[in-house]
Amino acid sequence: MEEQAKLVEVKDLVQKFLLKRVLDGISFNLLSGEALGIFGLRGSGKTALLHILAGVERFSSGQVEVLGCDIRKDQSFKQGIGLVTQEPSLFQDLNVLENLDFIASLKNAGPPDIERVILQLELKDYLRYPVNSLEAGVYQRLSLACAILNSPRLLILDEVIKDIDIYSRHLILQGLEPFLASGGGVICGFSNIEMSAYFNHVAWLEKRQMEILSSGEARDKWIQLLESFKKPGDWDAE
């Protein structure tokens, strides 16, 4: 059996905002072929952690290695990751095909790669649509298509299927299966506990700490959390 490569290694990560610790002593690994879901309540630091892993946000202390690179010293790891954030990141005034063409040129991807992602995420009928006219589900399918154009080794996704139609959700989750089977890794922030079933492990962020759980353990903890609150407004997810 081929040994799994270590794609991400985090040791004693600390992140502060205005002297307040948001993440405190976070440690975990991600191996090739694994999908890790990161779940946290609002303000838990989930998005901050994903931004740190993607190299778009600095951290206060600790050690973070992504694709073998110490991300404080070596930014070359960014060439091997695909990122989908909650914030709009596509070119709104271009159409779908123009976005794919332009981002492919930035990632040294070619026409076969564009054809592959169009087929995989069923974007053919939308190629001439301006991005600013797309429904949320199609927009997220295009975002993922752009992220995997150059066949990255690691995908970092933040709420990639939140508030989108069922079919787009199916296509996105289905599209992750061959990526993982080929040795890629996925780290995905999520707030719908039902998504925990799609991950090898769930990293539960609470009170600045992280606990690694199975999907079943995460669901059980969510039920316990709901029962402990008196008002629904107290448990809005991030």
Is the residue at 79 inside a domain?
A: yes
pLDDT in tens, 67-87: 999 999 999 999 999 999 988
Max distance between CA atoms of the chain, in angstroms, equals 55
Is the residue at 118 inside a domain?
A: no
Is the residue at 41 inside a domain?
A: yes
DSSP string, 147-196: HTTT--SEEEEESTTTT--HHHHHHHHHHHHHHHHTT-EEEEEE--GGGG
Is the residue at 195 inside a domain?
A: yes
Please report the pLDDT score of residue 172 as a whole number.
Answer: 95
Q: What is the domain extent for residue 40?
A: 6-92+153-230
Is the residue at 202 inside a domain?
A: yes
Domains: count for the chain: 1
- Report whether 122 contacts 171 (CB < 8 A): yes
Check which CATH number belongs to the domain holding 178 and give it: 3.40.50.300
- The DSSP element (H or E) to which 212 belongs, if any, is strand 209-213
Is the residue at 136 inside a domain?
A: no
pTM: 0.90
Integer angstrom CA distances of residue 130 from 92, 98, 115, 120, 134? 7, 9, 19, 20, 7
Is the residue at 235 inside a domain?
A: no
pLDDT in tens, 9-60: 999 999 998 888 899 999 999 999 999 999 987 778 899 999 999 999 999 9
d(CA 32, CA 219): 25
Is the residue at 201 inside a domain?
A: yes
Tell me, what amino acid is at 35? A
Nearest CA to 2 out of 153, 184, 183 is that of 183
d(CA 156, CA 188): 6
